[in-house]
Amino acid sequence: MDTKTFAKEIETHVRPATFPVAAKLLGPDDALPAKAKRPWRDMKIQVAICQAVAMARRYGWTIGVGEEDVNCVLTKTAFGLAPLTEHYESGHLACGMYVETLEAGARTEQATDRLPAGKYKHLVVGPAARVDFTPDAIIIYGNPAQVLRLVTCALWKHGGALTSSFTGRIDCSDEIIRTIARQDYQVILPCYGDRVFGQTEDSEMAFTLPGSKMEELVEGLQGTHKGGVRYPIPAFLRYTPQYPEHYYELERIWAAGEPKP
């Protein structure tokens, strides 16, 4: 399934407030899309990867980032744009902010999916409806009810349950690296940095899927729609309202047939 068709189905059935984002990792010999904007070259800024995703989903831009474009040392490390160091692995960057001890920090860093240094040179993200590349992963931000809708679609073919894990940090790794590595759906709790720098709202969550599952998810969208699982979630309105007791005096007056004044 092509990304344009996929994006149209998401818009029809889920109606997210921002564009679904297609993401692709590029090796040293892979060319960036010609129209991709580069933060350092074109805007004279360096960004966190969550900012690049936010530009794609809010502006509709295709953004390419490499080592020179990114100033978040956590994501430079996770995406292999800079070498993995003992200082990072031992937990110094988590200790005192997210965890109490270096040992706890080291466990937190071990829980973050990472790419080997130098394997990929660039990450490109863009609105799924407009990109001209085959995505490795797709990221969809929405409110909890919209993410719930996507979870039901993901389970349409095989049932069971989705399993996701959360650290509250480096959600770009969860969205892209972990989704690609597991080739499975993920529910994403946007991290602290995503909310600060990507300006993700308090009410937003995210849902990701590998590019290989676009067609399967659309089948789930259509199947669950026919089954009655839809967004916006319909309110149950077929009930008799209850009112303050003194309202019912009129009912008694009408029932008694009292003459009009």
- Tokens representing residue 15 in the block: 């109606």
Nearest Cα neighbor of 127 from 39, 10, 256, 224 is 10
Q: Is there a contact between 113 and 84 (Cβ–Cβ < 8 Å)?
A: no
Nearest Cα neighbor of 94 from 187, 164, 169 is 169
Q: What is the pLDDT of residues 113-142, one digit of tens each?
A: 999 999 999 999 999 999 999 999 999 999
Nearest Cα neighbor of 204 from 137, 139, 112, 113 is 139
- Tokens representing residue 101 in the block: 């001890």
Q: What is the pLDDT of residues 54-78, one digit of tens each?
A: 999 999 999 999 999 999 999 999 9
Bridge partner residues of 142 (DSSP): 205
Q: What is the pLDDT of residues 13-33, one digit of tens each?
A: 999 999 999 999 999 999 999
Mean pLDDT for all residues in the chain: 97
239: three-class secondary structure by DSSP: coil
